[in-house]
Structure 1
Amino acid sequence: MDEKKQFAKRLRAAMIAAGHEPRPSVLEKHFNARYWGRSVTYQAVRRWLLGLSIPAQEKLQVLADWLHVEPQVLRYGLTGGTRQAAKSMGIRAPHWDSIAATDQALIQAYLSLPEATRQHLRAFIAALR
């Protein structure tokens, strides 16, 4: 799958994890409310969600802040240090793309939490086993 399609998949998953429907109208409204530059069009955000284009870095930062994910995770997925963090959580999937989008979004949301909150969640999950 190409880079733009992978980005779109991560963007949709992050929107779902943040409690938003992955629709262009939703993305356009929330993005433009936070972006300090020229507003983006419905067509532009639709292209992001369809995997036809990737936003510029300053727009990617706004998306990441809004969706509570690291910009590099949104842009590139789990690689390097973020992959190590996933392994430390017990995730043994060598191919991130083989994980369902909703699970990817959950993991990304978890990784964006403060360490103290992650510790509480780990203890809670351990108690459920």
Structure 2
Amino acid sequence: MNEKMEFAERLRSAMLAAGYPDRPAVLEREFNSRYWGRSVTFQAVSRWLGGKSIPSQDKLQVIAQWLKVEPQALRFGDRAVSAIREQRAQWEDPRFYREREAIDAFLALPAEQRKVVRDVIRAFAKAGDGASPGKDDKKTR
């Protein structure tokens, strides 16, 4: 199944779970009553529900807010959201506090100093891999 069809299934399920019929007329009415941009047509929402297109991010956020689902889950599915949460939990692990602190300090540096630090890190990484620094340096900058 393709990405657009999977999105359509998630959209239909979210509408039904929120107590709305999964019909284009309902989606058109409810979406347009909440969206401050240019109204969408019946044909556009039919394409969303039919698995032929996916709304832009601003429209997706309005739909997600209306249906009380996470925009990422609506767009990409629960597996993608779970993977993001796992990575975030790993990053927030207290064992990595010093690394997060170092990265925050790195990001606060001026651009020239960040370049020097990146070069030092690359040199350490290459030394750890047993590779010698040399001609590949220019490709990674």
TM-score, normalised via structure 1 length = 0.63
State the secondary structure of the residue aligned to 1:43.
Answer: helix
Corresponding residue for residue 74 of structure 1: 74
How many pairs are equivalent? 85
Corresponding residue for residue 8 of structure 1: 8
Are 1:73 and 1:82, in contact at CA under 8 Å, matched by a contact in 2? no
State the secondary structure of the residue aligned to 2:78.
Answer: coil
- 1:79, distance to aligned residue in structure 2 (A): 2.4
1:27 equivalent to 2:16? Answer no
Runs of 4+ with >3 A deviation: none
Residue 25 of structure 2 aligns to which amino acid in structure 1?
A: S
Corresponding residue for residue 41 of structure 1: 41
d(CA) in 2 for partners of 1:56, 1:79:
21
What is the alpha-carbon root mean square deviation over aligned residues?
Answer: 1.5
Are 2:15 and 2:67, in contact at CA under 8 Å, matched by a contact in 1? yes
TM-score, normalised via structure 2 length = 0.58
d(CA) in 2 for partners of 1:73, 1:81:
6
Structure whose CA Rg is larger: 2
Are 2:73 and 2:81, in contact at CA under 8 Å, matched by a contact in 1? no
Corresponding residue for residue 94 of structure 2: none
Q: Pick the structure with more helix per residue.
A: 2
d(CA) in 1 for partners of 2:80, 2:7:
17
State the secondary structure of the residue aligned to 1:69.
Answer: coil
- Segments of 5+ residues of structure 1 without an aligned counterpart are 86-129
Q: Percent identity?
A: 62
Ranked by relative contact order (alpha carbons within 8 Å, sequence separation 6 or more), the top structure is: 1
